[in-house]
Amino acid sequence: MIPAAFEYHAPATLKEATALMRRFGDDAKVLAGGQSLIPMMKLRLADVPHLIDLRRVSGLAYIKEQDGGLAIGAMTTYHELEASSLVRRYAPFIVEAIDLIADVQVRNKGTIGGSAAHADPAADLPALLVALEARINTTGGARARHIAADRFFVDAYTTAMGPSEVISEITLPALPLRTGTSYRKFANKASHFAVVGAAAVVTLGADGLCERVRLGITGAGPKAARSKRAERYLEGKAPTQENFQTAARKAGHGIEFLEDIHGSAEYRRHLTSVFAARALAEAVQRVAD
Amino acid sequence: MAHTITLTVNGTGYTREVEPRLLLVHFLREVLELTGTHIGCDTSQCGACTVTMDGLAIKSCTAFAVQADGATIVTIEGMAKDGKLHPIQEAFHEEHGLQCGYCTPGMIMTLSQVLERNPDPTDEEIRHGIAGNICRCTGYENIVRSARDAARRLREEA
Amino acid sequence: MATYTGQSLRRTEDERLLLGNGNFTDDIVLPGTLHAAFLRSDRAHARIVSIDASAGLAIPGVVAVMTAADLGDVPNKTMIVKRDGMQEDKMIPHPILATDRVRYVGEPIAIVVAEERYLAFDALEYIVVEYDPLPAVVDPRQAMKDEVILHEDIGTNVVMKVLEGEGDIEEAFGKADHVVGHRYDDPRISAFPMEPRATLASYSPEEKRLTVWTSSQVPHQIKRYLAPMLGLEPDQVRAIAPDVGGGFGRKIELWSDEVALSVLSMKLGRPVKWTEDRRENLLSTHGRAFTSDVEAAINNDGTILGMRFRMIADLGAYFYTSTGGPLSNAAHRVAGPYGIPVMDIEVLGVFTNGPPTGPYRGAGGPEAALLTERIIDVAAGVIGMDPAEVRRRNFISADAFPYKTATGYTYDSGDYQRAFDRALELSEHDGWREAQRKRGPNEPLLGIGVAAAVKASGGSARTRNARADVYVEPSGAVKITTEASPHGQGTETTFAQIAADALGVPYESITILHSDSDMLESGHGTTSSRGLAVAGSAMYEALIQTRAKAAAIAGHILGCAADDVVFEDGKVYSASDPEQAMAFSELASAAYRPEKLPEGLEAGLDTKVSFTLDSNPFGFGAHVAVVEVDRDTGDVKLIRYTAVHDCGILINPMVVEGQIHGGLVQGISQALYEAMYYSPDGQPLTASLMNYAVPIAEELPTLVTDSLETPSPTNAMGIKGVGELPTVGSPPAVANAIMDALAGMGVDNLDTPITPERVWRAMQAAR
Q: Residue A113: which CATH number?
A: 3.30.465.10
Helix or strand or coil: residue A110?
coil
pTM: 0.98
Angle between helices C416-426 and C387-394 (to 10 degrees): 160
Kindly state whether residue A202 falls inside one of the protein's structural domains: yes
Phi then psi for residue C552, to 5 deg, are -65, -40
| Contact call for C686 and A267, based on CB within 8 A | no
Kindly state whether residue A96 falls inside one of the protein's structural domains: yes
Kindly state whether residue C374 falls inside one of the protein's structural domains: yes
| C-alpha count within 13 angstroms, C-beta hemisphere, residue C474 | 6
Q: Are residues C555 and C572 in the same domain?
A: yes
Please tell me the predicted confidence (pLDDT) of residue C651: 98
Contacts of A43 in chain C (CB under 8 A): 688
Kindly state whether residue C493 falls inside one of the protein's structural domains: yes
d(CA C470, CA C140): 49
Q: Are residues B122 and B147 in the same domain?
A: yes
The whole-number average pLDDT for the span B117-124 is 98
Please tell me the predicted confidence (pLDDT) of residue C1: 54
Please tell me the predicted confidence (pLDDT) of residue A289: 72
Domain limit, last residue, from B77, B105, B129: B77
Q: Are residues B94 and B137 in the same domain?
A: yes
Q: What is the pLDDT of residues C179-190, one digit of tens each?
A: 999 999 999 999
What percent of chain A has a predicted confidence (pLDDT) above 90?
Answer: 98
Q: Are residues C627 and C649 in the same domain?
A: yes
| Contact call for B96 and C655, based on CB within 8 A | yes
Q: Are residues C240 and C93 in the same domain?
A: yes
Chains touching B (3+ CB pairs < 8 Å): A, C
Contacts of A270 in chain C (CB under 8 A): 633, 760
The whole-number average pLDDT for the span C550-562 is 96
Distinct helix (H) and strand (E) counts, chain B? 5, 5
Kindly state whether residue A1 falls inside one of the protein's structural domains: no
A48 and A41 in contact (C-beta within 8 Å)?
yes
Q: Give the domain extent around B8.
A: 3-77
Q: Are residues C36 and C102 in the same domain?
A: yes
Q: Are residues A165 and A187 in the same domain?
A: no
Q: What is the pLDDT of residues A86-99, one digit of tens each?
A: 999 999 999 999 99
Please tell me the predicted confidence (pLDDT) of residue C325: 95
Confirm whether the ipTM is greater than 0.90. Answer: yes
C711 and B65 in contact (C-beta within 8 Å)?
no
Total domains in chain A come to 3
Q: Are residues B131 and B97 in the same domain?
A: yes
- Assess C274–A contact: CB distance below 8 Å, yes or no: no
Q: What is the pLDDT of residues A116-169, one digit of tens each?
A: 999 999 999 999 999 999 999 999 999 999 999 999 999 999 999 998 999 999
d(CA A114, CA C622): 49
Please tell me the predicted confidence (pLDDT) of residue A1: 86
Q: Are residues C403 and C469 in the same domain?
A: no
B115 and B151 in contact (C-beta within 8 Å)?
yes
Q: How many CB atoms lie within 10 A of CB A143?
A: 7
Sign of CA dihedral C170, C174, C175, C176: positive
Kindly state whether residue B82 falls inside one of the protein's structural domains: no
Chains touching C (3+ CB pairs < 8 Å): A, B
pLDDT band at residue C278 under the 50/70/90 scheme: very high
| Contact call for C121 and A2, based on CB within 8 A | yes
Choose among C10, C17, C655: nearest Cβ to B94: C10
Kindly state whether residue C326 falls inside one of the protein's structural domains: no
A287 and A180 in contact (C-beta within 8 Å)?
yes
Q: What is the pLDDT of residues C427-448, one digit of tens each?
A: 999 999 999 999 999 999 999 9
Of C199, A42, C38, nearest to B22 by C-alpha is A42
| C-alpha count within 13 angstroms, C-beta hemisphere, residue C240 | 18
Q: Which residue of chain A comes nearest to B60, CA vs CA? A: A105
Kindly state whether residue C274 falls inside one of the protein's structural domains: yes
Q: Are residues B93 and B71 in the same domain?
A: no
Q: Length of chain C, please?
A: 767
Shortest CA gap C227–chain B (Å): 29
Please tell me the predicted confidence (pLDDT) of residue C748: 81
* β-pair type (C478-482, C510-513): parallel
Helix or strand or coil: residue C633?
coil
Total domains in chain C come to 3
Kindly state whether residue A156 falls inside one of the protein's structural domains: yes
Considering just the CA atoms, what is the radius of gyration of chain C in Å? Answer: 27
d(CA C464, CA C753): 34
For residue A217, the cross-strand partners are A198, A225
Q: Which residue of chain C comes nearest to A122, CA vs CA? A: C690
Helix or strand or coil: residue C448?
strand
Phi then psi for residue C454, to 5 deg, are -120, 140
Domain limit, last residue, from C581, C612, C643: C612
Kindly state whether residue B131 falls inside one of the protein's structural domains: yes
Q: Are residues C621 and C596 in the same domain?
A: no
d(CA A227, CA A131): 9
Q: Are residues A183 and A280 in the same domain?
A: yes
Choose among C278, C691, C760: nearest Cβ to A270: C760
Q: Are residues A25 and A88 in the same domain?
A: no
Of B49, B33, B30, nearest to B41 by C-alpha is B49
Q: Are residues C370 and C508 in the same domain?
A: no
Q: Are residues B153 and B120 in the same domain?
A: yes
Domain limit, last residue, from B77, B102, B135: B77
Q: Are residues B92 and B147 in the same domain?
A: yes
Q: Are residues B73 and B98 in the same domain?
A: no
Kindly state whether residue A199 falls inside one of the protein's structural domains: yes
Amino acid at C315: L
Please tell me the predicted confidence (pLDDT) of residue C746: 86
- Assess A1–C contact: CB distance below 8 Å, yes or no: yes
Residues 181-210 on A with a CB inside 8 Å of C are 186, 188-192
Kindly state whether residue A2 falls inside one of the protein's structural domains: no
For residue C626, the cross-strand partners are C448, C640
Q: Are residues C228 and C112 in the same domain?
A: yes
The whole-number average pLDDT for the span C131-155 is 98
Question: Does pLDDT of C538 surpass 60?
Answer: yes
* Mean pLDDT (chain C, rounded): 97
CATH of the domain at A47: 3.30.43.10
Kindly state whether residue C446 falls inside one of the protein's structural domains: yes
Please tell me the predicted confidence (pLDDT) of residue B74: 98
Q: Are residues A152 and A188 in the same domain?
A: no
Shortest CA gap C639–chain B (Å): 13
Angle between helices B141-157 and B104-117 (to 10 degrees): 50
Of A120, A101, A98, nearest to A46 by C-alpha is A120
- Assess C765–A contact: CB distance below 8 Å, yes or no: no
Contacts of A269 in chain C (CB under 8 A): none
Q: Give the domain extent around A40.
A: 7-53
Q: Are residues C464 and C453 in the same domain?
A: no
Q: Are residues B94 and B73 in the same domain?
A: no
Q: Are residues B15 and B45 in the same domain?
A: yes
Shortest CA gap B42–chain A (Å): 6
C603 and C597 in contact (C-beta within 8 Å)?
yes
Total domains in chain B come to 2
| Contact call for A261 and C691, based on CB within 8 A | yes
Of C405, C325, C412, C322, nearest to C614 by C-alpha is C412
Kindly state whether residue C506 falls inside one of the protein's structural domains: yes
Kindly state whether residue A27 falls inside one of the protein's structural domains: yes
Region for A210 from its dihedrals, namely left if φ exceeds 0, alpha if ψ lies in -120 to 50, beta otherwise? beta
Chains touching A (3+ CB pairs < 8 Å): B, C
Q: Are residues B70 and B98 in the same domain?
A: no
CATH of the domain at B149: 1.10.150.120
DSSP C513-524: E-SBTTTSS---
Q: Are residues C654 and C586 in the same domain?
A: no
Kindly state whether residue C345 falls inside one of the protein's structural domains: no
Phi then psi for residue B38, to 5 deg, are -110, 165
Q: What is the pLDDT of residues C294-320, one digit of tens each?
A: 999 999 999 999 999 999 999 999 999
Q: Are residues B71 and B33 in the same domain?
A: yes
Q: Give the domain extent around C261.
A: 17-134+193-247+251-284
Q: What is the pLDDT of residues A195-205, one digit of tens each?
A: 999 999 999 99
| C-alpha count within 13 angstroms, C-beta hemisphere, residue C200 | 19
Question: Does pLDDT of C247 surpass 90?
Answer: yes
Query: How big is the B-C interface in CB pairs under 8 Å?
Result: 175
CATH of the domain at C554: 3.30.365.10
Q: Which residue of chain C comes nearest to A267, CA vs CA? A: C757
Q: Are residues C243 and C124 in the same domain?
A: yes
Q: Which residue of chain A comes nearest to B21, CA vs CA? A: A5
CATH of the domain at B40: 3.10.20.30
Domain limit, last residue, from A143, A172, A201: A172
Please tell me the predicted confidence (pLDDT) of residue C72: 93
Question: Does pLDDT of C239 surpass 90?
Answer: yes
* β-pair type (B3-9, B72-74): parallel
CATH of the domain at A190: 3.30.390.50
Residue A120 contacts by C-beta under 8 Å, 6 or more apart in sequence?
Answer: A36, A126, A156, A157, A193
State the DSSP code for C534. I
Q: Are residues C580 and C517 in the same domain?
A: yes
Domain limit, last residue, from C556, C585, C612: C612
Shortest CA gap C37–chain A (Å): 11
The whole-number average pLDDT for the span C393-398 is 98
C617 and C714 in contact (C-beta within 8 Å)?
yes
What percent of chain B has a predicted confidence (pLDDT) above 90?
Answer: 97
Domain limit, last residue, from C561, C584, C612: C612
Considering just the CA atoms, what is the radius of gyration of chain B in Å? Answer: 15
What percent of chain C has a predicted confidence (pLDDT) above 90?
Answer: 98
